[in-house]
Amino acid sequence: MAPVAESSPLRVIHTVCSHDCPDSCGVLVTVNAEGRAIKLQGDPSHPVTRGFLCGKVAKYLDRVYSPERILHPLKRKPGVAKGPLVRGREHEAFERISWDEALDSIAARLKETAERYGPESILPYSYAGTIALLGYGSMDRRFFHRLGASQLDRTICAEAGGVAWSSVYGKKIGTPTEDFRLARLIIAWGGNIHGNNVHLWPFIVEARRNGARLIVIDPYRTRTAALADWHIAIRPGTDSALALGMMHVILREGREDREYIDRMTVGFAQLAERVRDYTPERVAAWTGMTAGEVEQLAREYATTRPAAIRLNYGVQRNENGGANVRAIVMLPALTGAWRHRGGGAQLSTSGGFAWNEKDVRRPDLMLASPLGRPARVVNMSALGQALTELGEDREEGIGNREQGIGNREPKEESETQQGPRVHAVFVYNSNPGAVAPNHGAVRRGMARPDLFTVVHDIFFTDTTDYADYVLPATTFLEHTDIQGAYGHYFVQLSNQAIEPPGEARSNVWLFGQLGQRMGFEEECFRDTPEAIIRQGLGIGLGNGPSNGQDSNGHATNPGMEHITMEDLRERGHIPLSFHREGWLPYASGPVPTPSGKIEFYSEALAAQGVDPLPAYVPPVESRWGSGAQRYPLEFLSRKGDNYMNSTFANLEGHREMEAANRHRLEMHPDDARARGIDDGDAVRIFNDRGSLRLSAMINGSVPQGVVAGRLDWAKLHPEGENVNVLTSERLTDLGAGATFYSVLVEVEKA
């Protein structure tokens, strides 16, 4: 593990990049004799990382040692109103306090809030600021479960796609990343591989060297699209129409794999009936392609073997995102592409990691809370509504019958979809002041003087501007964790490489301490990170013959039974047991769906009143919706290529990399000309929810009728706004996710 001489004062520590990225890179950190990290490199022994890091994390020490880091707990000064603070002077709004004071004060306020309004008036808000097991969800979940706080439905990024994939295949497992090198045709569908999944790229390069073609389907000309053999710039949200049109052509021409369909799938007859209407001509009218192009794509896909589809989460951030994913992922089941190594599809590999979440997160603790039942669930994609409209107070009240907004059925049995107003929000691993849709409503909610807000973060952000308390957080170099991935099949141990600067503390430490201050007596609030890692791996559970097996010899963590702490420490990464050379995920059954087969037709969706077959239903906010008369342009609120959602946007080096696109609005020349707009002109983009001033960029990156801007921190925009002033809290058709790419706008010269 340590490629330095024994006599060297340098140490090399194995860590894992925990940012929200499919690649989950193994990262080797070189630490000098003073305990300072001096170098980061990709783990050369990791079969997917292969020794390199992306441009965002290659500069990571700028972040770790940034002079702007929050180093101590802070409390808002009396009389300082909540709202945007001047960048670089945020500390003036806060006073430094000790951890003891912070923890005692926060615990006292949460207790008081819970007693007065009911514990569901407290809302945790977190997402994938770290995706490692402990940092993402462990002690924090225990804390909020035991408290009886509202549960957060973590839908903002991937839920629509996840629910959609699982409705067809049971769980999120797909083509191994390393096998893309064997493909002869690769379709990147709504995925900017070169920008956001860069460790897949070398495998694609290898495949192309061996004759493979790369087709990119994306309304936006991404870096990946620019490098493709064929870029198909379909209109936003028309992906299901295209996939169903491809199926129409495949069936019309008899190019399906009947033996595979008969053996491995259910619902083929219903699907065949459904796609009958999706003629190339109709699909062409929706997507902006020609009928000939639809036919060409279908034929090329059905006749090339192996053919692999890498779809990413872009396709599901539309009102019809669930149907988009369902339709696309049915393609390899129709052609039997799963039979061939290097064929199939990948959305995520996360379903391969069978963490023992029950013990890590302890949902049973909700029964020990004052509620005595599972708490209500609040959808994070409707935070603005949750903070401004949800619930109604009743003193001592946890029982009113007000209907919640943006809520879904609780994940565990509960009668409640209602409850009190939100009176306290605890933010960690997220920056909702920048990333949550409908920024105007979010900001109004967060500015409520009566809302008690705690934020645990590394830097001052758009969200800390509204905090009563700001607590200093650690980077992945500064705590111990364990991690799977959603772009490969390796479990990795992330060792603490350096001491946290100042008084920064991890999520596990923070919520363990808070639990103890709240008087929670359960031992689990004293667990060490290593103990939780063992629980996550199922080590030491049951009385079976080996780790991860119960007394009956059944796997408690299938795929992870062989993993020991000793091996992890020695090797850093260990493949899941099924991830062997030549493994084909769906070449044979059973499939973990209710029917045991790949489901073209989903009885489970039908039972929920959802269309059991994929269809193209034009989004309300699209050129086909009535709102297009006032707001005729479809807006893509894209992520920055050089940021990770809102992470890194405050760092000078990253901002320089992103400079060409910052505060720009990409337009098609026809749309610009029709509005008298030239490249570089100041423009105002607006709809009923808000307005944003940007400058026009006319560069051929979007099709006619589509405009695109990039997410940035609101406080880094001259007028304190970002693209989310335009996005809505309307939810996706499956999974109740956010619809960042179903947004209608108009643009005018400013």
> Does 21 engage in binding with ligand SF4 (CB under 6 A)?
yes
Hey, which residues between 522 and 541 contact ligand SF4 (CB under 6 A)? Answer: none
Q: Nearer to ligand SF4 by C-beta: 48 or 147?
A: 48
Please state, in angstroms and rounded to a whole number, the distance separating the CA atoms of residues 657 and 641.
Answer: 9
Q: Nearer to ligand SF4 by C-beta: 17 or 498?
A: 17
Backbone phi, psi, residue 458, to 5°: -90, -35
Residue type, 259: E
Residue type, 338: W
Stretch that binds ligand SF4, among 19-27, 385-393, 557-565, 580-588 (CB under 6 A): 19-27
Taking alpha carbons only, the member of 21, 619, 700 closest to residue 315 is 619
> Does 727 engage in binding with ligand SF4 (CB under 6 A)?
no
CB of 704 to ligand SF4, least distance (A): 33
CB of 27 to ligand SF4, least distance (A): 7
Stretch 174-213: interaction string toward ligand SF4, x if CB under 6 A: ------------------------xx--------------
> Does 53 engage in binding with ligand SF4 (CB under 6 A)?
yes
> Does 17 engage in binding with ligand SF4 (CB under 6 A)?
yes
Q: In what order do the strands lie in the sheet with 11-16?
A: 11-16, 26-31, 37-42
Q: Are 539 and 565 in contact (CB under 8 A)?
A: yes
Q: Nearer to ligand SF4 by C-beta: 56 or 534?
A: 56
Q: Nearer to ligand SF4 by C-beta: 57 or 215?
A: 57
Stretch that binds ligand SF4, among 14-22, 163-171, 627-635, 724-732 (CB under 6 A): 14-22
Q: Are 621 and 730 in contact (CB under 8 A)?
A: yes
Maximal CA-CA distance, the chain: 74
CB of 40 to ligand SF4, least distance (A): 9
CB of 5 to ligand SF4, least distance (A): 27
Among 13, 14, 15, 23, binds ligand SF4 (CB under 6 A): 23
Stretch that binds ligand SF4, among 49-57, 101-109, 529-537, 546-554 (CB under 6 A): 49-57
Q: Nearer to ligand SF4 by C-beta: 233 or 644?
A: 644
Q: Residue 163: which H helix or E strand, with range?
A: helix 159-169
CB of 308 to ligand SF4, least distance (A): 20
Q: Are 586 and 333 in contact (CB under 8 A)?
A: yes
Taking alpha carbons only, the member of 348, 363, 499 closest to residue 22 is 348
Backbone phi, psi, residue 348, to 5°: -160, 150
Please state, in angstroms and rounded to a whole number, the distance separating the CA atoms of residues 708 and 691.
Answer: 14
Please state, in angstroms and rounded to a whole number, the distance separating the CA atoms of residues 126 and 130.
Answer: 10
Residue 704, token pair as written in the block: 């006619």
Among 24, 429, 513, 646, binds ligand SF4 (CB under 6 A): 24
CB of 716 to ligand SF4, least distance (A): 21
Please state, in angstroms and rounded to a whole number, the distance separating the CA atoms of residues 158 and 322.
Answer: 10
Among 19, 326, 638, 663, binds ligand SF4 (CB under 6 A): 19
Size of interface with ligand SF4, in residues (CB under 6 A)? 12
Q: Are 319 and 197 in contact (CB under 8 A)?
A: no
Q: Which residue has the tokens 């973590």?
A: 154
Secondary structure of 268-327 as H, E, C letters: HHHHHHHHCCCCHHHHHHHHCCCHHHHHHHHHHHHHCCCEEEEECHHHHCCCCHHHHHHH
Please state, in angstroms and rounded to a whole number, the distance separating the CA atoms of residues 413 and 376.
Answer: 10
> Does 25 engage in binding with ligand SF4 (CB under 6 A)?
yes
Stretch 256-285: interaction string toward ligand SF4, x if CB under 6 A: ------------------------------
Please state, in angstroms and rounded to a whole number, the distance separating the CA atoms of residues 372 and 362.
Answer: 14
Among 14, 28, 41, 56, binds ligand SF4 (CB under 6 A): 56
> Does 329 engage in binding with ligand SF4 (CB under 6 A)?
no
CB of 563 to ligand SF4, least distance (A): 20
Hey, which residues between 596 and 655 contact ligand SF4 (CB under 6 A)? Answer: none
Q: Nearer to ligand SF4 by C-beta: 56 or 146?
A: 56
CB of 634 to ligand SF4, least distance (A): 29
Q: Nearer to ligand SF4 by C-beta: 461 or 642?
A: 642
HSE-CB for 252 with a 13 A CA cutoff: 16
User: What are the Cα distances from residue 302, in Å, to 263, 339, 501?
Assistant: 19, 13, 55
CB of 171 to ligand SF4, least distance (A): 22
> Does 451 engage in binding with ligand SF4 (CB under 6 A)?
no
Interior CA angle at 572 toward 570 and 577, to 5°? 100
CB of 159 to ligand SF4, least distance (A): 21
Q: Report helix, strand or coil for 147.
A: helix
Beta bridge partners of 693: 684
> Does 54 engage in binding with ligand SF4 (CB under 6 A)?
yes
DSSP-derived secondary structure letter, 655 = H
Residue 414, token pair as written in the block: 């509960």
Stretch that binds ligand SF4, among 23-31, 339-347, 605-613, 720-728 (CB under 6 A): 23-31
Binding site for ligand SF4 (CB under 6 A): 17, 19, 21, 23-25, 53-54, 56-57, 198-199
